[in-house]
Amino acid sequence: MNTPIDLVLQRVPGAKKAGAGWRAPCPSCGADSKSAKLAMSESADGRVLLHCFAGCAAGAVLNAIGLTLGDLFDRPATAQDGPTERRHRRVDLELADVRAAAAVLDLEACVLQVAAEHLIDGNPIIGEDRERLALAATRIDSTLARLRAGQMRRPKAAA
């Protein structure tokens, strides 16, 4: 069965392995561009993290390749799943709000990772990239504030 990252990579032309993830021209804003503005990576639990460094929303990128946000997250239950997977799936549903926050943090961490690699390679962060970094900082701030304020449902014990 295709994992979400397989599904995405099949549909994004020109994807190349880069560090822990992949880079490609963004199908939404710059499919013809030589620069690989779209960063893709896979989280430990198999979700796909997408970030267009030119600023496209994940939804716009997905739209361009005929997928939806659900394709990044949902792994349909299979007969091979054991009780642990089923329990994780149930807990996942209970943790929907926390997962949404985690998705924001994952995405913004991806932005920071891309920016860090950019800086480590000796490139400056300027213009739109700089604005996107500032946006990442704002989103991380507000998401952490929401989590800390307990506005999200408290997760039930995951046992």
Interacting residues toward Zn ion by CB under 5 A: 26, 28-29, 52, 54, 56
Q: What residues are paired with 41 via a beta bridge?
A: 49
**Phi, then psi, of 39 in degrees rounded to 5:** -105, 135
Give residues with Cβ within 8 angstroms of 124, minimum separation 6: none
Q: How far is the CB of 2 from Zn ion (least distance, A)?
A: 23
Q: How far is the CB of 64 from Zn ion (least distance, A)?
A: 8
Q: How far is the CB of 7 from Zn ion (least distance, A)?
A: 19
Q: What residues are paired with 95 via a beta bridge?
A: none
* Of residues 64 and 101, the one with the C-beta less far from Zn ion: 64
* Of residues 29 and 125, the one with the C-beta less far from Zn ion: 29
* Of residues 24 and 95, the one with the C-beta less far from Zn ion: 24
Specify the amino acid at residue 39: A
Q: How far is the CB of 29 from Zn ion (least distance, A)?
A: 3
Please state, in angstroms and rounded to a whole number, the distance separating the CA atoms of residues 101 and 150. Answer: 12
Please state, in angstroms and rounded to a whole number, the distance separating the CA atoms of residues 75 and 61. Answer: 20
**Phi, then psi, of 17 in degrees rounded to 5:** -60, 135
